[in-house]
């Protein structure tokens, strides 16, 4: 009989204390790809100890790099000659690995990267990646499940993104730093992770301006050099703890992420009745003494409400007084986990990209299944507001985005454990 891990949480406790947030997954993975742009040793500090980092390390090793992971420190030794192909067996496990396309094309003049996999949260095409690199002179096509790109030397271009895609912005940006001439990316993504990437690229010798705005200007350079960089804190993990605090009527200090990178989400928690206090040195405090009041949420590109926090917003609505209207504008499959939340007794009705959530005083513990990283964390947090025990299966998803998730829950005063059970118990 095979067995699987589940995370079991027990309802009735409040989150209280302090929690330290590591570096952002969505930044560290792209910083690792950026190391491909310069031969030599690059070091990245404050990286999260999660499964996705290990997968990305193996992607880079297959490309010819030597990669060492030591807690939150990553050392990448990039050779003069890279292998320009990223195989399917790894890329299918990590969608972010498509971000090696731009650096490989810029360094090698050609790249062959398998079509990516990743979370089951809806379609995320590569059209904007391809269009942007094509504008810079790349010849790009698809062969046998691979994206194949070639260019003797990329040239600067004016590129307009139809949507401020984080992935497309990153790929085009990393290709443009070694292109000949000036590249302007309009309607670029503005996320803190983009700012973090630009900071690292500039420390490697790139000339990029406009970070944090919708227009990035890149003056191409001939060569780059390795660097040492510290990853920005993970605002999504920080937001998860903030929402969990309000849902459980707790009191938590979150360290490692400044409130400014979470302003829209924290404003929603304030509207729900929470007290939010900015603290020095990238920290903030969230306190909630009463049942939250229902708030409406609309996901939008940064600085709007992050789609990755949508499961937490639905969890908040499930225990709030009143009804919440939750609108998802980024991923068409983000509501896939709603049936699992309903197993906990949540009153949720979906219609297209809208969900109406009518709050209940208490949920009811049940076995549930994580369908993606954020859904898994959201279900576990909702389980803290349920009577009895909640068991979350498919916890490998949570492992991809939340380092030491169970240990951090325990440190905040709630009863949680990771246990192994027969897999036949989770085949519903």
DSSP 208-277: EE-TTSSEEEEE--S-----EEEPPB-HHHHHHHHHHHHHTT-EEEEESS-GGGGHHHHHHHHHTT-EEE
Kindly report, residue by residue over 293-339, the tens digit of the pLDDT.
999 999 999 999 999 999 999 999 999 999 999 999 988 778 889 99
Annotated binding residues, written as ranges, equal 25-26, 95, 308, 330
Mean pLDDT within 97-118: 86
Residues in the chain: 428
Q: Give the closest residue to 406 by CA, choosing from 421, 417, 392, 390.
A: 417
CA distance 395 to 180: 45
Contact partners, residue 108, CB within 8 Å, separation at least 6: 82, 84
Mean pLDDT within 77-91: 87
CA distance 151 to 155: 9
Is residue 121 pLDDT above 60, yes or no? Answer: no
Number of H-type helices and E-type strands within the chain = 14, 26
Q: Which of 52, 73, 119, 196 is flagged as catalytic?
A: 119
CA distance 103 to 200: 14
- Residue 280 has a CB neighbour count (10 Å cut-off) of 6
Is residue 117 pLDDT above 80, yes or no? Answer: no
Q: With bands split at pLDDT 50, 70 and 90, how would you rate the model's confidence at 93? A: confident
To which residue do tokens 């279900």 refer? Answer: 379
Annotated binding residues for phosphoenolpyruvate, written as ranges, equal 25-26
Is residue 116 pLDDT above 90, yes or no? Answer: no
CB-CB contact of 270 with 301 (8 Å): no
The answer to whether 77 is a known catalytic residue is: no
Kindly report, residue by residue over 273-287, the tens digit of the pLDDT.
999 999 999 999 999
* Helix, strand, coil percent values for the chain (each to nearest 5): 35, 30, 35
Contact partners, residue 216, CB within 8 Å, separation at least 6: 169, 173, 184, 185, 188, 198, 208, 209, 210
- CA dihedral for 121, 122, 123, 124, sign (positive or negative): negative
Q: Can you list the domains of the chain with their CATH numbers?
A: 3-21+234-426 (3.65.10.10), 25-230 (3.65.10.10)
CA 127, 31, 72, 86: dihedral to nearest 10 degrees? 60
Q: Give the closest residue to 318 by CA, choosing from 268, 265, 285, 356.
A: 356
CA end-to-end distance (rounded Å), the chain: 17
Is residue 427 pLDDT above 80, yes or no? Answer: no
Tell whether pTM > 0.85: yes
For residue 425, the model assigns a pLDDT of 62
Q: How would you class 418 by CB atoms within 10 Å of its CB: exposed for 0-12, middle for 13-18, buried for 19 or more? A: middle
Q: With bands split at pLDDT 50, 70 and 90, how would you rate the model's confidence at 126? A: confident
- Residue 55 has a CB neighbour count (10 Å cut-off) of 17
Annotated binding residues for UDP-N-acetyl-alpha-D-glucosamine, written as ranges, equal 95, 308, 330
Quick one: tokens of 5? 């891990």
| 245-266 burial code (b ≥16 CB/10 A, e <16) | bbbbbbbbbbbbbbbebbebbb
CB-CB contact of 234 with 192 (8 Å): no
3-state secondary structure of 361: coil
For residue 237, the model assigns a pLDDT of 98
For residue 158, the model assigns a pLDDT of 98
CA distance 305 to 295: 13
């Amino acid at each position: 009989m095979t067995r699987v891990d589940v995370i079991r949480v027990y309802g009735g406790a409040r989150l209280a204390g302090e929690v330290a947030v590591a570096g952002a997954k969505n930044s560290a993975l792209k910083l690792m790809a950026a190391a491909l742009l310069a031969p030599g040793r690059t070091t990245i500090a404050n990286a999260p100890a999660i499964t996705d980092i290990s997968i990305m390390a193996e992607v880079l090793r297959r490309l010819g790099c030597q990669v060492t992971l030591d807690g939150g420190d990553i050392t990448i030794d990039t050779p003069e000659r890279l292998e320009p192909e990223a195989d399917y067996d790894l890329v299918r496990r990590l969608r972010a690995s498509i971000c090696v396309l731009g650096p490989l094309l810029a360094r090698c003049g050609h790249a062959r990267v398998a079509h990516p996999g990743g979370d089951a949260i809806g379609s995320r095409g590569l059209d904007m990646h391809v269009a942007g690199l094509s504008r810079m002179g790349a010849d790009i096509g698809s062969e046998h499940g691979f994206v194949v790109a070639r260019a003797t030397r990329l040239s600067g271009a004016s590129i307009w993104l139809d949507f401020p895609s984080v992935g497309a912005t990153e790929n085009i940006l990393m290709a443009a730093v070694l292109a000949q001439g000036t590249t302007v990316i309009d309607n670029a993504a503005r996320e803190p992770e983009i700012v973090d990437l630009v900071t690292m690229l500039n420390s490697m010798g790139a000339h990029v301006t406009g970070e944090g705005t919708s227009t990035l200007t890149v003056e191409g350079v001939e060569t780059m050099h390795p660097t040492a960089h510290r990853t920005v804190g993970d605002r999504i993990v920080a937001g998860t703890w903030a929402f969990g605090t309000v849902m459980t009527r707790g009191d938590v200090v979150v360290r490692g992420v400044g409130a400014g990178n979470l302003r829209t989400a924290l404003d929603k928690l304030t509207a729900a009745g929470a007290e939010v206090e900015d603290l020095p040195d990238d920290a903030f405090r969230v306190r909630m003494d009463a049942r939250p009041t229902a708030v409406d949420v609309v996901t939008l590109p940064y600085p709007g409400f992050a789609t990755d926090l949508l499961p937490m917003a639905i969890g908040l609505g499930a225990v709030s007084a009143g009804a919440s209207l939750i609108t998802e504008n980024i991923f068409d499959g983000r509501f896939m986990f709603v049936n699992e939340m309903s197993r906990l007794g949540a009153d949720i009705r979906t219609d297209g990209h809208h969900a109406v959530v009518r709050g209940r005083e208490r949920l009811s513990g049940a076995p549930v299944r994580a369908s993606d990283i954020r859904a898994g964390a959201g279900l576990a947090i909702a389980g803290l507001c349920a009577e009895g025990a909640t068991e979350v299966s498919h916890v490998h998803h949570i492992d991809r985005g939340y380092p030491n998730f169970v240990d951090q829950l325990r440190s905040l005063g709630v009863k949680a454990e990771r246990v192994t059970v027969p897999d036949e118990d989770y085949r519903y």
